[in-house]
Structure 1
Amino acid sequence: MTTGPSTFDIEAFLNSLVQRMFPVWYAAQAVKEMPLADMGVLNPNNFLCHRWLSLHSVVQAMQGSLENAGSEWQTLHQLLGKLIVEQDYQRPLSISAIQGVEYSGHDANLPNIASYAEHYLSDFPWESAEDFDRNVKAAFPDSEKPFRVVYREWDGRYYWVNKQEPDHFAAASLHAQQKQRDATITANINVESLHMASLDALRSQFWLLLMTRDDAYRVLELLNQTPFKVILCEFEWRRSDLVVLCAEKNQAKLNNILLNLQNNRSSQQVTDLGRYLNRHHHPFRNQ
């Protein structure tokens, strides 16, 4: 009597057996070969600052994930809470240094404020020197100075905390870009800084690996078969497709697994968040 072809998958059976018997070794090998998706642009250019990556949102989301996660994650929770410090400085500021604005009734995906002018202000006078002076004075009248500006040290970007449509500022910015001219305003600059001691502590004590949610779930499934403790933290509301895989760096075998995960991968596939912040740090020039 003949039987049909067997549906038994010997390779899957052996993989499952090895994973059960040697979960740490299996995880270290599996993460090397796991395909990882690209995350896309983490901090896009846009004339609206609310489209930029927000470290405040990242910290809030991660702390929210850790709130009820157990006492072993409270050190991470506390360090995240110390990561951002703010201080105000009143300084002269070049308008060409300002890359974005807080408010506009337009929500288009435009890379900078000059492109806003090109897109929306086709009939708006901006080309002559007189136009430039008039637009600067209209955008930044003496009666309203100092003007509120925010500087973010983790990406070196300034944005203006405006209350009305930024037409005059955009026109002046387009002129400054096209005609190599500039103007200076008196600004009250809120500097959002990184507390470097807390960042150093985060980097030395914890893995903070940013990747797509689907990939992170697959890594977590492997690590859940091991004795190591890991947790996934939300990233920020704009990028719900991404999560941060967190783990302590005090276990050599887990460190080996996560190093295998990172090796020969691009920063588009997996990014060490602490290293990312350190590498993109642009300290404020307090002059």
Structure 2
Amino acid sequence: MEKKEFKNHSGSIKLVKFIISNSNSTIIASDVFKALRNKDVRVNNVKVKEDIIIKNDDLVEIFLPDTLNVIHKKNELFYNIIYEDENVLIVDKKQGFAVHAEKNNDSTNLIDEVRKNISSAKNSSLCHRIDRNTGGLVIIAKNENALKELLRAIKEKKIIKNYYAIVSGKPIDITGTLINFLSKNDKIGQVFVHEKKEKGDLTAITHYKVLQSEKNISLLELELETGRMHQIRAQVANAGFPIIGDGKYGNTVINRKYKVKMQLLFAFRIKFQLDKSSFLFYLNKTVFEIDCGVESLFKKLTQ
């Protein structure tokens, strides 16, 4: 085992985030969570097994295998493992890759790569989807029981998913809720937004908050209440602030102006709010969050 030691000079901060940032990302989240489960992390010489908040001057020690999982490095250009246990795998998917095989397209996709490269995930299944050109967090179940439980939790809104989007324009209200009805055309892979419900429509509800706005560009944080195909992309475009880079629902002139070819939409946070009856209750109140670099992207676009 290899010991790494860090002194906290950053004030109050979550343990996992502190270790990752102080290792210059040579230690990734899944390594830290595995060490926590194995009680190989100490704070002030006391073993801990949860992602606690540490304080200034706390001494953190983590004991790691001499050789970290080479799979992380092999796939770092495609996806990064954020968390892994015997039931659940959470990855950060890069933009430009599909989560599953697409019709008439045999290119690399997330779930096939996970099954091929992670020995403990050969029978894994996606719990939800994000679009090919959307980056961010994806939950994968490693067994059938976990899949059933996670799908149930998503359906019952026990798993909260948050997104960042950089859009053209500025919403009138700083915070708001978009409520529309969507119809899907499978032949062209597109949804259409209606203000009044029509036959076959599904309700779509998205909450948003404006984080920054400058030069007619806004950075939004969004939370899904429903999970429909292309929901965020279609709803914000319908509301008058399309995502920059979105070739299907966005503004072609604006996309060309900023030379962005993939929608600036990122699934950055997942929060578990599980019942005690769930065998995955150990994940209750756990929040997984990634740095998507949206602030630097926003700054670059508004310079």
Q: TM-score range by the shorter chain?
A: under 0.3
Instruction: Using CA pairs under 8 Å that are at least 6 residues apart, name the structure with larger relative contact order, 1 or 2.
Output: 1
Scaled by the length of structure 2, what TM-score is found?
0.20
Structure with the largest fraction of strand? 2
Structure with the largest fraction of helix? 1
Q: Look at both structures and tell me which one has the larger radius of gyration over its CA atoms.
A: 1
